[in-house]
Structure 1
């Protein structure tokens, strides 16, 4: 009998921009504008030229948008 390894709580991870764009349905410019305005989760600096976003913060943002009904 196989078990579904994805059934439990997800591990926190850092998402790179292409994955964030895919999850939230916005492009880079919109993400950065919303981040600057405080309406999108902040990036985490990974190196001098690399950033990522917390998967839990992105998922929470998506859920907030769904619950708000797009308002």
Structure 2
């Protein structure tokens, strides 16, 4: 039987980014689906370079990084008092 010396163990915590769907982004921001897609379209008059970029999961499925959406919301809140 092999004994394990706890001082030789390295504990690693892996923090996985949470991906959220367009429906979740709509709920978090209060924006419509069309508005969100206009905000991420560089050719649109409504393009917002500060809005989080989508993550392409497959040919038809996209998601957003939850922490990036939250940060964008925090920036919007902070900018109202500027």
State which drifts further: 55-64 or 33-42. Answer: 33-42
In 2, distance between residues paired with 1:33 and 1:57?
18
Q: Considering fraction of residues, name the structure with more helix.
A: 1
Task: Give TM-score, length-normalised by structure 1.
Answer: 0.77
Aligned length: 62
Structure 1 alignment gaps of length 5 or more: 1-9
Task: Give TM-score, length-normalised by structure 2.
Answer: 0.67
Residue aligned with 1:49, SS: coil
Bigger Rg over Cα: 2
Structure 2 alignment gaps of length 5 or more: 1-14, 42-46
Q: Which has the higher contact order (CA 8 A, sep 6+)?
A: 1
Residue aligned with 1:40, SS: coil
In 2, distance between residues paired with 1:54 and 1:34?
16
Which residue does the alignment assign to 1:32?
37
In 1, distance between residues paired with 2:50 and 2:33?
14
- After superposition, give the CA deviation of every residue in 1:32-67 in whole Å (9 maximum; x if it has no partner): 111122231110000111000001110100000000
1:43 aligns with 2:54: yes
